[in-house]
C-alpha cells in the first residue's frame, strides 16, 4: 500500500512538472522546432538562430545557482552543418583581431554580438520572422527579425548551396559582415597608431 502511494505521488509529480503540449518548459533545452513550412534556406537560418539563442540563454544562466538544466546546450554557432568554412574563418579572424586590438579591461571595437547584431537577445524565436528575399539555386538571402519589432533593424543572412545543402556564408548587420568589420578594426588600428 505504501509503495502504491509513493508510485502515485511520483506519477503526479512527473505529470505536473511536464510542459503542456505546444508550450515550452521553463527549463532551457534544445531549440524550438517550429520551422515547418519554410524553404530550405529559411529553415537553415531559423534552426541556426534557434540553436544560437538557446545556447546564449543557457550560457547566460549556467552560473546561476537556481538554474538547473537537464543537459548542456552546445554552442553550434560555427557548426559546419549550418555555416560555410568562409563564415568560420571570417568569424575567427574578426574575433581574434578584436581581441588583439582591445586593451585589457575595455570593450573594444565590437561592443555587440556580430552574430545577432545586438548586445541582447530574445529568449526564444517565438516572435522571430525569417523571410526569403532572394534564391538563385546557388545563393540565397534571408531577412531575419529576431525580435518581431519594427524598431530593431533586421539582419540579412547570405547563404550558399553546397553539396551537403544550404549553409550560412555571412550575416550582415546594417552594411557590415564579419569581413567588413575586420577591415574596420584594421583601419581604426592604423589611425590610432598615427
Domains of the chain and any CATH numbers: 33-188 (3.10.450.50)
What was the pLDDT predicted at 105? 86
Contacts of 188 (CB under 8 A, 6+ apart): 101, 109
CB 160 within 8 A of CB 84: yes
What was the pLDDT predicted at 6? 40
| Largest separation between any pair of C-alpha atoms in the chain | 84
pLDDT digits (tens, 9 = 90+) for 28-66: 333 333 456 789 999 999 999 999 999 998 887 776 766
pLDDT digits (tens, 9 = 90+) for 161-181: 999 999 999 999 989 999 999
pLDDT digits (tens, 9 = 90+) for 118-160: 888 888 888 888 999 999 989 999 999 998 876 678 899 999 9
Report the alpha-carbon distance of residue 26 to residue 18 in Å, rounded: 10
pLDDT for 24 beyond 90: no
What was the pLDDT predicted at 155? 92
Amino acid at each position: 500500500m505504501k509503495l502504491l502511494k509513493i508510485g502515485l505521488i511520483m506519477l503526479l509529480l512527473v505529470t505536473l512538472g511536464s510542459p503542456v503540449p505546444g508550450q515550452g518548459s521553463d527549463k532551457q533545452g534544445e531549440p524550438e522546432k517550429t520551422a515547418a513550412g519554410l524553404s530550405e534556406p529559411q529553415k537553415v537560418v531559423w534552426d541556426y538562430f534557434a540553436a544560437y539563442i538557446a545556447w546564449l540563454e543557457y550560457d547566460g544562466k549556467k552560473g546561476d545557482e537556481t538554474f538547473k538544466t537537464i543537459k548542456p546546450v552546445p554552442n553550434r554557432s560555427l557548426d559546419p552543418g549550418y555555416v560555410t568554412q568562409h563564415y568560420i574563418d571570417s568569424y575567427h579572424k574578426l574575433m581574434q583581431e578584436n581581441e588583439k586590438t582591445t586593451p585589457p579591461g575595455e570593450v573594444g571595437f565590437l561592443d555587440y554580438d556580430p552574430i545577432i547584431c545586438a548586445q541582447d537577445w530574445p529568449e526564444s524565436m517565438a516572435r522571430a520572422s525569417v523571410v526569403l528575399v532572394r534564391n538563385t539555386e546557388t545563393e540565397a538571402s534571408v531577412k531575419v527579425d529576431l525580435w518581431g519589432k519594427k524598431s530593431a533593424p533586421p539582419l540579412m543572412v547570405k547563404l550558399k548551396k553546397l553539396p551537403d545543402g544550404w549553409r550560412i556564408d555571412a550575416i550582415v548587420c546594417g552594411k557590415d559582415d564579419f569581413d567588413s568589420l575586420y577591415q574596420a578594426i584594421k583601419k581604426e588600428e592604423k589611425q590610432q597608431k598615427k
